[in-house]
Amino acid sequence: MREPSDNAIEAAESIFIGHGGVMRTGEALAAGIHRRTFYWMRDRGRLEALSRGVFILASAPLPASPDVAAVMRRVPKAVLCLVSALEFHGIGTQIPSAVQIALPRNVRPPKIDHPRVQVFNMSESAFRAGVEQRSMAGTEVRVFGVAKTIADCFRYRARIGLDVALEALQEVVRQRTVTPAEIMEFARVDTVETVIEPYLRALL
């Protein structure tokens, strides 16, 4: 493959930097990077794959959570949830073994070989409640807010562990990150108010 000009390479790097260093192939081409330049940079190690079709500029700092950035690039309609959301908000000590995302019940889970993804299909009302828009490595990330995440942890306690839900609840109540009323608001959405209320009362 013929080497692109220095100007073409510099322009491509600038485009990547403008997107936080991370882009999907289609995004990069649509942003004006010539296909030949893109694949030359990939083949020469100037672009590194985070996941299939998602690349990071090798000279750019690695995102704090590269797996999350890669998954949210590939599934932009998903919402980061549960332990992944707790980690995003800096709550608890748990490290997710997979990127945990929520999707509506009628949406098929994405086929992603790497990184590992765990999908939680939610009702339409639960999927739409408490969603926040954040940015990570130039990627728009949809993530459940703290109160909704606490409620979700109790809703899915059989899959993630009751100890995870309790640790998160204790931390946010003691640090007053959210109010008990906010937690109970989303507990009603998740139909776990009778589960959470006794634990919440014990902490007040």
CA distance 59 to 199: 48
Cβ-contact 86, 153 below 8 angstroms: yes
Cβ-contact 55, 70 below 8 angstroms: no
CA distance 141 to 138: 9
* Among the ranges given (37-41, 51-55, 99-103, 114-118), the one the predictor scored with the smallest mean pLDDT: 51-55
Query: How many percent of the chain have pLDDT more than 90?
Result: 50
Q: Are strands 22-24 and 131-136 parallel, antiparallel or unpaired?
A: unpaired
Q: Where residue 117 falls among pLDDT bands split at 50, 70, 90?
A: very high
pLDDT at 62: 66
195 SS3 class: helix
More confident residue, 30 or 65: 30
* Average pLDDT value for residue range 171-193: 96
pLDDT at 163: 95
Burial, 125: exposed, middle or buried (Cβ in 10 Å; 0-12, 13-18, 19+)? exposed
Q: Where residue 1 falls among pLDDT bands split at 50, 70, 90?
A: low
* Among the ranges given (72-76, 129-133, 138-142, 164-168), the one the predictor scored with the smallest mean pLDDT: 138-142
Q: Which among 168, 163, 136 is positioned nearest to 149, based on CA atoms?
A: 168
Residue 87, C-beta contacts closer than 8 angstroms, at least 6 positions apart: 65, 94, 95, 96
Residue 24, C-beta contacts closer than 8 angstroms, at least 6 positions apart: 53, 54, 55, 73, 74
**Averaged pLDDT score across all residues of the chain:** 90
Q: Where residue 18 falls among pLDDT bands split at 50, 70, 90?
A: confident
Q: Which among 143, 101, 93 is positioned nearest to 122, based on CA atoms?
A: 101
pLDDT tens-digit readout, 129-147: 999 999 876 677 899 999 9
22 SS3 class: strand
Q: How many CB atoms lie within 10 A of CB 201?
A: 9
Total residue count of the chain as it appears in this document? 204
Q: Where residue 115 falls among pLDDT bands split at 50, 70, 90?
A: confident
CA distance 4 to 24: 20
Amino acid, single-letter form, for residue 158: A
